[in-house]
Amino acid sequence: MMPSAVSDHETHTGHGITKFTNCFLVKGNDLVKEDLWISSTTGKILQSQEVFYGQRVAPDRIIDLGGRIVSPGLIDVQLNGAYGFDFSVIPKEGASAYGKGVLQVNKSLIKTGVTSYLPTLTSQKPEVYHKALPFLAPSGATRDPSSGSESLGAHAEGPFISPTKNGIHNVSVLRTAPAGLPDLETCYGAFNLMAPSPIKLLTLAPELPGALNCITSLTDLGITVSIGHSEATYEEARAGIAAGAKMITHLFNAMRPLHHRNPGIFGLLGTASPTPTSSPSASPTSRTTAPRKPYFGIIADGIHLHPTSIKIAWNAHPDGFILVTDAMSLVGLPDGTYDWTNGSRIIKQGPLLTLEGSNGKIAGSSISLIECVTNFLNWSGATVPEALKAVTATPARMLGLEGVKGSLEPGADADVVVLGLEGEDGPERILVVEQVWKFGKCVFEKGKEKESDGGL
């Protein structure tokens, strides 16, 4: 059944409060029919009872959503670029052009429902990290909705990865024997490894000599380590988790496949203990105890993985399941062959991206995050809130931002997406982004876009 029209009632009481009514809120694994109050003054979700009865404040605006779904804003922890801009390329015009390019991506990206994300760098030479990382640091301190999607910090994917599981990363820039913190500083820049680091997540291969010490150093700096682009055996992967790694980068892709005598990295999903929460009481020594089930990224684009593989992973560890796009800068551009970093070229044919002259090596995806959620929804039998959790509450928890991002609970940032659900009675359900709110302000409304604004 199609939801009825959205109706909007404004009274201007001056408190910057919006109330959504006649809607279903994504809360945990449930859809709850409840009103939601948000503030553009604080940029947060409000405790409506306290505001209305305690402070005797009424909303400025009441929006009847006609039965639509209200989700926390989506979070993509692996996005390489979009709309022709690549986070791994410093433009010829220099660093300020790079900064402008990042801002442009942020302003376009938010219209897809992604209200925060980790701009991701593939393996590069040190000078690229030194120049790019300062522009990719967390950008939410100004709490300015007009800045678009918010960086939660960079995802540095490589260059401490396996040369035989490089995917499309250029082997010539890989570093295969990380010699502790000094080597990390040479690579990323010492100023980029001082807390708070602009790097939030770092993918490396735990089997490389010296990698385990690096995981410990990075974790101590507040950087979350993810295992990926790796030849690790199950035992080597376990050692990575024991050293502090919490995540697996694009599970199944660029790693050894599951073998019954050596389950490899995938085997980590079979470990007994649950994924840790970001509890402040967890002592640093706890990471030397039994390995925990890690979080893991999944690319649900219909190209990287068979739907059944995705279902197996989700069933093995639903609380660690995070949907990512791994989208490249070509997302949103027409088909063709494009220059990429380090002299390589990428061929785009619809959603399929391959590396030129590589015998069809998959080169990241060309899909939006809400399309990944829709695919997962139709392939897995998951409910709508379960599917949305994989791009909201779960990535927020992985990043230590539980209750701040990916949540509709009072006190969380008012990053909100209003979704329509089409084809509810048919074989395929489709989630459609209808409105996007950032820090309590509406920044996108479907159908009210200018032609030139584009979109994914």
Q: Can you tell me the distance from the alpha carbon of 278 to that of 256, in angstroms, rounded to the nearest whole number?
A: 29
Residue pair 435/444 in contact (Cβ under 8 Å)? The answer is yes
Q: Give how far Cα 382 sits from Cα of 34, 256, 377, 378, Å.
A: 22, 27, 6, 8
Question: Of the listed 86, 326, 413, 415, which one is catalytic?
Answer: 326
CB atoms under 10 Å from CB of 209, counted, come to 10
Q: Is 326 a catalytic residue?
A: yes
Strands (E), 361-429: 416-422
Given CA atoms 304, 310, 313, 314 in this order, what sign does their dihedral have? positive
Token readout for 110 is: 């938010």
Token readout for 302 is: 């219909």
**451 Rama class: left (phi>0) / alpha (psi -120 to 50) / beta:** alpha
3-state DSSP assignment of residue 433 = strand
Q: Can you tell me the distance from the alpha carbon of 397 to that of 75, in angstroms, rounded to the nearest whole number?
A: 11
Residue pair 29/385 in contact (Cβ under 8 Å)? The answer is yes
Residue pair 95/127 in contact (Cβ under 8 Å)? The answer is no
Q: Can you tell me the distance from the alpha carbon of 442 to that of 423, in angstroms, rounded to the nearest whole number?
A: 26
CB atoms under 10 Å from CB of 137, counted, come to 18
Q: Can you tell me the distance from the alpha carbon of 36 to that of 46, in angstroms, rounded to the nearest whole number?
A: 8
Residues assigned a catalytic role: 326
